Structure 1
Amino acid sequence: MIRKAILSACVALVAGTSMPASGATDARQSHEAMIVLDTHFDTPANLGRPGWSIMDRHVEAIDGDQVDVPRMADGGVDGGFFAIFTASGPRTEEGDRAARDFALRRGVQIREMIARHPETFALAITADDAEAAVQQGKRFVFLSMENGYPFERDISLMSAFRSLGVTMMSPVHTRNNDLADSSTDTPEWNGLSPVGKAFVAEANRLGILIDLSHASDAVVRQAVALSKAPIILSHSGMRGVFDHPRNIPDAEAKLIAQKGGVIQINAFNAYMIATPSIPEREAALKELMAGFASGRALSSEQRRALIAKRKAIDTQWPVPKADFDDLMAHILHAIKLVGIDHIGISGDFDGGGGVEGFRDITDFPKVTAALLKAGYKADDIAKLWGGNALRVLRAAQAAGDPGVSPAIPTTN
């Protein structure tokens, strides 16, 4: 296998784990030998920004960006699921049509990114595709959809997105839609709507992996019961560690594991620790975002100005910050609860994720080092980093109709 990156700066990349230099080097070597993926990159939102390229190195503290090719190499990251995220909007024919068109454009942008850099990226539809890309020294790119809003009115569109290359879909985001209740909205359907139940059946038929992050507890229970294939949570926390509706309760986590599914632990500050409400802070943030809500992609200068002003608000009205230890608390609780065969990791990067000590993908090796130090074996940690997610993808596709048309190939 082609080495994923040159093993320079091993100790620096796992700094903060309090391991001796030899232990840090061994941890980095173990990390490099694994297939490392993240199941929820919101990075495609950057593809429409003027002058922005995933091939350039960015600085999280200045640009706010957390994923790019140079840092994928630094973090030993082989690839992941690049999300087509569509924000919820009016549940009208016009709103649904706009959501559909937006999602198609975003999917095309991801495909264009792959086609422009064939020496760097490979489109992945199957787990075998991802493994082949690693063998070739490339970064694999799966397409996923966050929020079923683009196809809520017509689930036959799921087939069109599948042809575009989408392999994982979630029915709902932070607000209810015509498919399902959100974990952060008032129950409307008491779980899945009738169309939402059809979504589960259609996803099974198409061999699409169902992602229930953001879905209500009732949706999780119903979808797990209805689905012929295992379920994934692409970026969620554990409610047994911190009580937030966006986190999965222990009982529902066990149901997912019993069905063979996987829970990918995320690193989103508000879902990991208590953050008090400060009215002045919230008003300032609302005013700040309103000033940048032009509907157009921000330039690099505008984005940096936004981040600088956001930091000024954080300084004036600080709130507690989750850190790497909080992330590890969620991970270790999940492992103890359902076993390492049913756990993975997603930073929710470029979508609001990141905690102190785990700010971007260069921090991924820290998790490997911490788990090795805690006594876990490298083979088990490899399951957490990519093996489990690829396993459930294989299972979802194996359960699908063998007559489903393949995705449109990438042309260079």
Structure 2
Amino acid sequence: MRTTLLAVSALALLGACAPKPAETEPAPPADVAETATPAEIHERLVVLDSHLDTPANLSKPDFDIMADNPSVMGSVQVDVPKMDRGGLDGGFWVIFTPQGPLTDESYDAAFKAATARQDEILKMVADNPDTFELAYTADDVERIAASGKKVVLQSIENSYPLVLNVENLQAFYDKGLRMVGLIHFRDNQFGGSATDFSSPEDTGLTDLGKDLVREANRLGIVVDGSHSSDASVKDMMEISTTPVVLTHTGLKSVYDHPRNIPDEFLQQIAEQGGVIQINAYSAYLEELEDSPERRAALEELQAEFDGVNPFTADDETKARYMERMQAISAEFPPPRSTFEKFMEHMLRALELVGPDHVGVGADWDGGGGVTGMEDVSYLPKITERLLAEGYTEEDLAKIWGGNLLRVMRQAEAAKETAE
């Protein structure tokens, strides 16, 4: 959304100088009135993404958030020039910490890592005050977007760094955190993950996880169920006094993957006011087959780290594994899904629950991006496609940001009521 003060002033001047009513020409029929183009509609919307993993790049010496960095699928897709080209006003910038062992030493390291990541987000804003501004409320979001600055909301993906004390959420809240995702790839102290196959599918929230949902409600923080098992999300819905958001998720009816949700479950989430933000992570959109060369390299990597879980290994082992994995992906890129498949997930969600409960959370810089939508500069394609499908500008206003802001306001109101 952009302010148009000059246009308003010009209109006022024209009005003051307009001829008398008797001299004016009749207005053209409504059916021949000029209509806005998809690009113009996109430009005047508040366009938010619910899951920007871009903070992971902020400490890299070769990355500059203000520069037009060379795009790298899945890892370098958001910077200010690309946001400008794509009309992205901002969104939730993610404090992500990989899941590690449930030990005192690892907890301490995770808390320090998450704190450092949040400080990097705050530094990005402080270093570029004319470009970015922190948002703490839904009203802040609308004001900042109208000013032309980029909106910086903060979320946490994987609450593992909160250790065994939900009151640690307060420290992150005090510095601007407004959304909390409890779980990631593996079960943690708060509950079951959608992708931890070492535990039963019906593993829900632990007592500590239930307390974390209550603490989020008390603080006015939105609850994110992405990556959590269906059982964990159902527990969140039962406990939370405000709707649950799935910030980067897809539909099982389009592709049956553990990270996606069944149609009937999405409908239950929507009935409670929740929202699904469709992701663009290729492996969750459709079944893809690695090239023979990539498969051979991955098998060699597996043999090299036989018996080692890179997610729970020591830092040195984890670093070596990730370095090898990145080298393999650079030489033999993983297969990618397409913009059409991304839209298939989105259109299915819209068919099921309508524009009041669907948005976009593409997982930029965290593995997201598809052929035909490689970085955030391509976001206007979504608007163009949805308009072609018959959705209105009012629908798009909800999809691109209105639904997230509604849930934020509900969380803010619940906090005020609790106080």
Does TM-score exceed 0.5, indicating one fold?
yes
Q: Secondary structure at the match of 2:280?
A: coil
What are the within-5 Å matches in structure 2 for residues 97-246 of structure 1? 97-186=108-197, 187=199, 190-246=203-259
How many aligned positions are there? 375
**1:313, distance to aligned residue in structure 2 (A):** 1.4
Conservation of the 8 A alpha-carbon contact between 1:220 and 1:252:
no
Conservation of the 8 A alpha-carbon contact between 1:204 and 1:396:
yes
Q: How far, CA to CA, are the matches of 2:188 and 2:126 in structure 1?
A: 33
Q: How far, CA to CA, are the matches of 1:106 and 1:364 in structure 2?
A: 26
Q: How far, CA to CA, are the matches of 1:53 and 1:202 in structure 2?
A: 36
Conservation of the 8 A alpha-carbon contact between 1:91 and 1:178:
yes
In structure 2, the CA distance between the partners of 1:29 and 1:398, relative to structure 1 (3 Å rule), is same
Q: Is the counterpart of residue 280 in structure 1 residue 296 in structure 2?
A: yes
Q: How far, CA to CA, are the matches of 1:62 and 1:208 in structure 2?
A: 31
- Paired letter, 2:394: D
Residue 329 (structure 2) aligns with: 310
- Paired letter, 2:346: I
Q: How far, CA to CA, are the matches of 1:74 and 1:83 in structure 2?
A: 22
**1:283, distance to aligned residue in structure 2 (A):** 2.9
Conservation of the 8 A alpha-carbon contact between 1:91 and 1:177:
yes
Identity %: 43
Residue 331 (structure 1) aligns with: 346
Which of these residues, 371, 390, 406, is aligned with residue 356 of structure 1? 371
Q: How far, CA to CA, are the matches of 2:410 and 2:73 in structure 1?
A: 41
Conservation of the 8 A alpha-carbon contact between 2:111 and 2:163:
no
In structure 2, the CA distance between the partners of 1:198 and 1:50, relative to structure 1 (3 Å rule), is same
**1:256, distance to aligned residue in structure 2 (A):** 1.1
Conservation of the 8 A alpha-carbon contact between 1:63 and 1:307:
no
Conservation of the 8 A alpha-carbon contact between 1:143 and 1:168:
yes
Conservation of the 8 A alpha-carbon contact between 2:74 and 2:367:
no
Conservation of the 8 A alpha-carbon contact between 1:114 and 1:121:
yes
Q: How far, CA to CA, are the matches of 1:261 and 1:138 in structure 2?
A: 28
In structure 2, the CA distance between the partners of 1:253 and 1:63, relative to structure 1 (3 Å rule), is closer
**1:29, distance to aligned residue in structure 2 (A):** 0.3
Q: Secondary structure at the match of 2:379?
A: helix
**1:346, distance to aligned residue in structure 2 (A):** 1.4
Q: How far, CA to CA, are the matches of 2:301 and 2:132 in structure 1?
A: 37
Conservation of the 8 A alpha-carbon contact between 1:347 and 1:360:
no
**1:295, distance to aligned residue in structure 2 (A):** 9.1
**1:257, distance to aligned residue in structure 2 (A):** 0.5
In structure 2, the CA distance between the partners of 1:306 and 1:224, relative to structure 1 (3 Å rule), is closer
Which of these residues, 63, 67, 71, is aligned with residue 52 of structure 1? 63
Residue 18 (structure 2) aligns with: none
Residue 368 (structure 1) aligns with: 383
In structure 2, the CA distance between the partners of 1:201 and 1:403, relative to structure 1 (3 Å rule), is closer
In structure 2, the CA distance between the partners of 1:309 and 1:89, relative to structure 1 (3 Å rule), is closer
Q: How far, CA to CA, are the matches of 1:348 and 1:180 in structure 2?
A: 22
- Paired letter, 1:275: L
- Paired letter, 2:258: P
In structure 2, the CA distance between the partners of 1:294 and 1:24, relative to structure 1 (3 Å rule), is farther
Q: How far, CA to CA, are the matches of 1:295 and 1:114 in structure 2?
A: 33
Q: How far, CA to CA, are the matches of 1:71 and 1:399 in structure 2?
A: 36
- Paired letter, 2:239: L
**1:2, distance to aligned residue in structure 2 (A):** 3.6
Q: How far, CA to CA, are the matches of 1:37 and 1:238 in structure 2?
A: 21
Q: Deviations over 1:278-297 (max 9, x none)?
A: 64142366679x9xx96999
Q: How far, CA to CA, are the matches of 2:248 and 2:110 in structure 1?
A: 22
TM-score by length of 2: 0.83
Q: Deviations over 1:312-352 (max 9, x none)?
A: 313xxx74x31011011000000011111000011101000
Q: How far, CA to CA, are the matches of 2:35 and 2:366 in structure 1?
A: 30
Conservation of the 8 A alpha-carbon contact between 2:3 and 2:147:
no
What are the within-5 Å matches in structure 2 for residues 332-411 of structure 1? 332-401=347-416
Q: Secondary structure at the match of 2:211?
A: helix
**1:154, distance to aligned residue in structure 2 (A):** 1.0
Conservation of the 8 A alpha-carbon contact between 1:64 and 1:307:
no
Structure 1: where are the runs of 5+ without partners? 5-22, 298-302, 405-412
Q: Is the counterpart of residue 28 in structure 1 residue 39 in structure 2?
A: yes
TM-score by length of 1: 0.85
